[in-house]
Homo-oligomer: A and B are copies of this chain.
Amino acid sequence: MKMKSYTEIVVRYAETDQMGVVHHAVYPVWFEAARTDFSAKMGITYPQMEEMGIMLPVVELQVHYLGSARYGETVQVETCVQRLTSARVEFAYRVLDQQQRVITTGKTVHAWVGKDMRPMGLRKHFPQIYEKMLEAMEPESQQPGK
């Protein structure tokens, strides 16, 4: 089963900079908002995970800027899980403007850790979440890492 989530973002004035477009450091914030949305659609919200003692700090971030977003626009963030192991999860994103042009692509890698920020085996300790994440992955990448 394949799952792609689309999250609408209305560009805020505060998100622009003096170049007249959205500042590049805003995209990771949008990715995060899209992740929140993705996890809710997947059936387990990010706040619920935090309550269960699961933290998902970002360990790696990559963004490619192909175009720009402007104040007054509504963009869409497409989100999917690209890779999953018991230790990590990788999300991929594409930001689409109103003409469906891809203006940004990105990925974030997260570690499954507990409140003490130490790694915990997701598969062992939270098998349901592991399964849900696995189901959400695209068919061609359904072989999770070891």
Contacts and interface: CB of A to CB of B under 8 A. Distances in A.
A20 B20 CA distance: 8
Interface stretch (A8-16, A85-93, A121-129, A136-144): A8-16
Interface in A29-67: 29, 32-33, 36-37, 45-47, 55, 57-65
How many identical chains are in the complex? 4
Contact of A47 (B24, B45, B64, B72): B72
Query: Mostly helix, strand, loop or mixed at chain A's interface?
Result: mixed
Interface of A: 10, 12-14, 16-21, 23-26, 28-29, 32-33, 36-37, 45-47, 55, 57-65, 68, 70-72
Given A25-B32, A58-B65, 20 more contacts: A10-B33, A12-B33, A13-B23, A14-B17, A14-B25, A16-B17, A18-B20, A19-B55, A24-B28, A24-B58, A25-B26, A25-B29, A46-B71, A46-B72, A47-B71, A59-B64, A59-B65, A60-B63, A60-B65, A62-B62
